């Protein structure tokens, strides 16, 4: 059981390290309104 807990702690620390080195990563969740990045609408499918 302690091995699972140790593996979780190591994996979490590695994930936080990688995310902190990644640059501008927003972990804020979904965005609505002016701060949301809007992509263009996809073209309608040809029939």
Condensed to tens digits (0 to 9), the pLDDT of residues 19-43 reads 888 777 777 777 777 766 666 666 7
Q: Are 22 and 14 contacting, i.e. CB atoms less than 8 angstroms apart?
A: no
Contacts of 43 (CB under 8 A, 6+ apart): none
Neighbour count for residue 44 (Cβ, 10 Å) = 6
Q: Which pLDDT does position 40 carry in this prediction?
A: 67
pTM (predicted TM-score) = 0.50
Q: Which pLDDT does position 42 carry in this prediction?
A: 67
Is pLDDT above 90 for 2? yes
Q: What phi and psi, each to the nearest 5 degrees, are found at residue 11?
A: -65, -40
* Tokens coding 14: 């590695």
Residue whose token pair is 């701060």: 35
Higher confidence at residue 12 or residue 24?
Answer: 12
């Amino acid at each position: 059981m302690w091995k699972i807990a140790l593996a979780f702690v190591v994996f979490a620390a590695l994930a936080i390290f990688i995310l902190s080195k990644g640059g501008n990563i927003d972990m804020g969740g979904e965005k609505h309104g002016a701060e949301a990045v809007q992509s263009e609408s996809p073209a309608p499918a040809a029939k």
